[in-house]
């Protein structure tokens, strides 16, 4: 199923939290996603921080067709093409690159680009984009900064990522324009490398209990 941006935002609003994942070996993604799904989280942002990303996305798409898949940390046109071919539902970028946005629009592949100031927001709006990632969230002023930016830019739909954890996720989600928060504390690289699915499952249940 192909989603448009509005449908993705709607899905994210119900899910509320997005695991930001980096895997070194593509095959590791399957038991990880199984753990996420079993514990009530049908979404994964698989980042291009490793060369395994494309294959990992492809595996998830084959084995879990119903899951919402974001390709994260997309920095180059090549990665956009890889993500699309592998079956990603949408692209997430750390910053605002007009060339990447344009390519995604040409490919009819929804994109949530990273912003953290008025200049990048206006660049996004100029290209017809209102669904954005606020990154790095805490380092850029967090909840206070988002509230300040929403004064002039009330039309934004925001996914804050970076420095978010159990201690502050509720404060972000309390802002009506925040659709979901990205986080990696419950899918830490170390836990993935150790294949500690039980602990990841526990952490997922913990965050879902906090935000429900």
Catalytic residues, which ones?
45, 133
Phi, psi for 161 (deg, rounded to 5) = -145, 140
Give me the phi and psi of 132, to 5 degrees please: -130, 160
Report the distance separating Cα 45 and Cα 58, nearest Å. 13
Task: Report the C-alpha gap between 174 and 105 in whole angstroms.
Answer: 31
**CA atoms of 51 and 165, how far apart (whole Å):** 27
According to DSSP, the residues that pair with 47 across neighbouring strands are 72
Kindly report the length of the chain.
212
């Amino acid at each position: 199923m192909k989603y448009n941006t509005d449908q993705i935002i709607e899905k994210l609003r119900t899910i509320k939290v997005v695991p930001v994942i980096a895997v070194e070996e593509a095959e590791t993604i399957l038991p990880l996603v199984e753990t996420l799904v079993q514990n009530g989280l049908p979404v994964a942002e698989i980042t291009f921080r490793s060369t395994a990303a494309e294959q990992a996305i492809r595996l998830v798409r084959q084995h879990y067709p119903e899951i919402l898949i974001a390709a994260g940390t997309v920095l180059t046109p090549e990665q956009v093409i890889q993500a699309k071919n592998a079956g990603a539902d949408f692209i997430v970028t750390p910053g605002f690159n007009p060339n990447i946005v344009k390519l995604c629009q040409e490919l009819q592949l929804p994109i949530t680009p990273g912003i953290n100031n008025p200049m990048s927001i206006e660049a996004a709006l100029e290209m017809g984009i209102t669904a954005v990632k606020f990154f790095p969230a805490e380092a850029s002023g967090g909840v206070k900064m988002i509230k300040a930016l929403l004064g002039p830019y009330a039309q934004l739909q925001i996914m804050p990522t970076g420095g978010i954890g159990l201690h502050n996720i509720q404060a972000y989600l309390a802002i009506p324009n925040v659709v979901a928060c990205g986080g990696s504390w419950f899918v830490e690289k170390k836990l993935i490398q150790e294949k500690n699915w039980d602990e990841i499952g526990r952490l997922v249940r913990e965050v879902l209990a906090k935000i429900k």
